A and B are shown apart, each in its own frame.
Chain A
Amino acid sequence: MALLQIAEPGQSTVPHEHRLAVGIDLGTTNSLVASVLSGEATTLKAADGSDVLPSIVSYQNDGTLVGDAAKAHAVTDPENTIVSAKRLIGRSLADIQAKYPSLPYQFCGDENHPELVTRKGKVNPVQVSSEVLSTLRSRAEASLAGELVGAVITVPAYFDDAQRQSTKDAAKLAGLNVLRLLNEPTAAAIAYGLDSGKEGVIAVYDLGGGTFDISILRLNKGVFEVLATGGDSALGGDDFDLAIADYLVEQAGLTRPLSPSLERQLTMQACQAKETLSSAESCEITLELEDGKKWQHELSKETFESLIQKLVAQTLRACRRTLKDAEVTSDEVIEVVMVGGSTRVPLVRKEVESFFKQPPLTSIDPDKVVAIGAATQADILAGNKPDSEMLLLDVIPLSLGLETMGGLVEKVISRNTTIPVAKAQEFTTFKDGQTAMAIHVLQGERELVDACRSLARFELRNIPPMAAGAAHIRVTFKVDADGLLEVSAMEKSTGVEASIEVKPSFGLDESQIANMIKDSMANAKEDIQARMLKEQQVEAARVIEAVQSALDSDKALLSEEELAVIENALSTLAEVAKTNATDDIEKQIEVVNQATATFAERRMDSSIRTALSGQSVDKV
């Protein structure tokens, strides 16, 4: 029995339960997981003491290897060892083959759903990424000794909708509850901003293995406002390696196509050379050719820099455009934060310094800063810091629009709009008696459909026959806080809601994901029923806790009858959740959701009123 309880005035006497949440930096080359432990965000280590996990998956007969174990097979077994899957995720086959013509994999599947043939069968890039995420999830659960309530997964700010959706699918497949997809430069800004306490405009230059992002943010009293973001989702350190590899092929007098093993050897040697040249003036390269002969070459730093000059200039052009979008000048930038392993290349640092007219900040480990920022955000989202003043205002990187007559794109939401956002646009029919309309959703800045990324095609059917131009078709775009798009359409003049059918052009639909989860469980011999029951029970507990805490603070917004209905629904849910009737639990959760709809609305409005009245009091 407790003899004495000491509590701070105004704080709950019930010790706050710390919810386990992590931030995951799913990188092209390396991945990391971090969590907030006793107030400080730190990266979590594997049993062998390393925290960096190479994002490599190797499909071997005796099992699937991830990380360093997989890396060991990279040269000897390139077809079955997938590196840099992040470069493939959410992309079309044509896109991949145009951008990376010398990949050692055998592709199959259709244009919009590319798959790789391995000895363990066909795998898609989402599955490969989910293997990396699963490994990090197990590491976190072992290290934190408990189950995770959720994770914040970082993505390049310049990732389009298909790439984001695919990353979220990979996380779901790995059994992670995604609290939020967070843009990598924004994550770095959180880590930097909270660490330095500085306020003003900062630039985050993030050059990773496969992607480049530049974000301009304003930091002010815990608010991280992204003013603009830009970049290239297919430009990174890997391209430096490719440039060296192409040069070596030329110097050695080789002709492509080369064997997959030699290709892999080339890129790994090139990567090694790039790293060596960060501190040395020249380096020796030795290739083992297919005829067994050895070929040697000395690569100077000067040659290396001339090979990548064009790529670095490309990043600076993006910086210039993004500053313009942000409506700030480079003089207003008080700090340039460098993120990503590729910012170790001296030429990159030199060019960034001369562009922003100040030495970039490199004191935070560029490999870990993203995971640290993500962990900080995860801790807050999980509800461990109810008093946190932090507010993230992020933007969408690329404009979203619809195809109109003549193959043109009409923008509905323009790039650098703060999310979440909802916008509606009205269209009409152009033929008498037209009863259906095709809706084509696109992402990109160009005016022609062919130059933009096709995200989805919809068909709005059952439009009542009317004269041309009489129908009012309202298409609504909604982008949530993860930067993910949802589109709906309806014909409103007659009040008839027409049906829509969504077919994602890229990535996977819900049923494919469900099937993959089932398959993966069949392999792991996990009991699917048990897992589904567990999931519903966890959800029920979450709902009960959320509603209970809402009642504790805002009961006054309800009449006695309304309160009774909610309390009744809650206690039924608590009872049902103890049983193993999965469907009943799910149904009762829905009942509670219905019963609390008005309550939630009132609470939200009341908090808006409070925020406003607080404002006028401040002013008095």
Chain B
Amino acid sequence: MNYFQLFGLEEKFNLDTERLAQVYQKLQRSVHPDRFAHASSQEQMLAVQKSSMINDAYQSLKNPLKRAEYMLTLRGTEMPNEQASFKDNMFLMRQMELREMLAEVKFADDIDAAIFEATQVLEIEFEGLFKTMQTQLADNTEEANQLASDNLRKLKFYQKLHLELDRLEDFLFET
């Protein structure tokens, strides 16, 4: 049973997240270890297992990038590992520029404005890539899936940049 089937949902990228949350809570109500605190140790062990599995399934479907990754795995699309090199030179150049932009934030005259601007830039580029990946996932041809997998990898780069910006913000706030 795959995670979509587990939650009784259609295998689509655009899913009803409210329904997902509802089913999740319903499933946890039936298997959560708290319900088995006075049951046999056998059942307690199983409850932990099932509950962990449902948590993992929920996280895999709730987060859009994880959901994309899970769908591509189900479709048998090969996922390049993190160390594999990128052939897309344009993209790599852009990543370097963005890194420079982040490095300069702390020297800006108006740091708040610089952080705001950097966030905007990252978000716009993320959104663009995300929409493309969405369409490719919907196409669901072997070629489209491969392209979606490339874009997913690029989106993860943006996610990392965003995280670095968050850390930078924390750091500037606290000192």
Contacts and interface: CB of A to CB of B under 8 A. Distances in A.
A616 to B, nearest CB: 6
Contact of B50 (A19, A481, A604, A610): A604
B40 interface: yes
A137 to B, nearest CB: 18
A547 B40 contact: yes
A604 B46 contact: yes
22 contacts: A179-B37, A380-B34, A389-B29, A393-B28, A393-B32, A418-B59, A420-B33, A481-B32, A481-B33, A546-B38, A546-B39, A547-B40, A593-B42, A600-B43, A604-B31, A604-B43, A604-B47, A608-B6, A611-B29, A612-B7, A612-B23, A614-B26
Interface of B: 6-8, 22-23, 25-34, 37-43, 46-53, 55-56, 58-59, 166, 170, 173-174
B55 A419 contact: yes
A592 B23 CA distance: 33
B53 to A, nearest CB: 8
A297 B7 CA distance: 67
Contacts of A377: 34
Interface of A: 19, 149-150, 179-180, 223, 317, 320-321, 324, 377, 380-383, 389, 391-393, 417-423, 478, 480-481, 542-543, 546-547, 550, 592-593, 596-597, 600-601, 603-604, 607-608, 610-612, 614-616
B23 A615 contact: yes
Given A546-B40, A593-B42, A597-B42, A615 B56 contact: no
Contact of A611 (B26, B34, B37, B48): B26
Contact of A420 (B22, B52, B173): B52
A393 B25 CA distance: 9
Contacts of A393: 28, 32
A603 B34 contact: no
B51 A546 contact: no
Given A223-B25, A615-B8, A420 B48 contact: yes
B82 to A, nearest CB: 11
Nearest to A418: B55
Contacts of B46: 600-601, 604
B25 A391 contact: yes
Contacts of B166: 324
Given A317-B173, A422-B56, A612 B8 contact: yes
A427 B28 CA distance: 31
Contacts of B173: 317, 320
B50 A392 contact: no
Given A417-B59, A420-B55, A480-B48, A611 B27 contact: yes
Nearest to B169: A324
Nearest to B53: A422
Contacts of B22: 615
A592 B42 CA distance: 10
B40 A543 contact: yes
A321 B55 contact: no
Contact of A317 (B25, B38, B59, B174): B174
By secondary structure, the A interface counts as: helix
Given A391-B29, A607-B31, 4 more contacts: A321-B170, A377-B34, A481-B51, A604-B43
Contacts of A180: 34, 37
A393 B170 CA distance: 27
Contacts of A607: 30-31
Contacts of B48: 420, 478, 480-481
A317 B173 CA distance: 9
A600 B6 CA distance: 19
A324 B38 CA distance: 37
Chain A CB within 10 Å — which of B37, B55, B173 has the most?
B37
A404 B159 CA distance: 23
Contacts of A179: 37
A418 B25 CA distance: 12
A391 B32 contact: yes
B40 A383 contact: no
Nearest to A223: B25
Contacts of A320: 173
A612 B52 contact: no
Nearest to B26: A611
A377 B35 CA distance: 11
Given A317-B173, A317-B174, A420-B48, A600 B29 contact: no
B52 A422 contact: yes
A550 B22 CA distance: 27
Given A317-B173, A600-B46, A612-B8, A593 B28 contact: no
Nearest to A180: B37
Nearest to A380: B34
B5 to A, nearest CB: 9
A351 B166 CA distance: 24
Contacts of A614: 26
Contacts of A480: 33, 48
Contacts of B31: 604, 607-608
A373 to B, nearest CB: 14
A478 B40 contact: no
B23 A600 contact: no
Contact of A608 (B27, B39, B56, B174): B27
A311 to B, nearest CB: 14
A99 B154 CA distance: 44
Q: Which 5 A-B pairs have the closest CB atoms?
A: A381-B37, A383-B38, A481-B33, A607-B30, A422-B52
Nearest to B28: A391
B41 to A, nearest CB: 6
A381 B58 CA distance: 24
Contacts of A389: 29
A382 B37 contact: yes
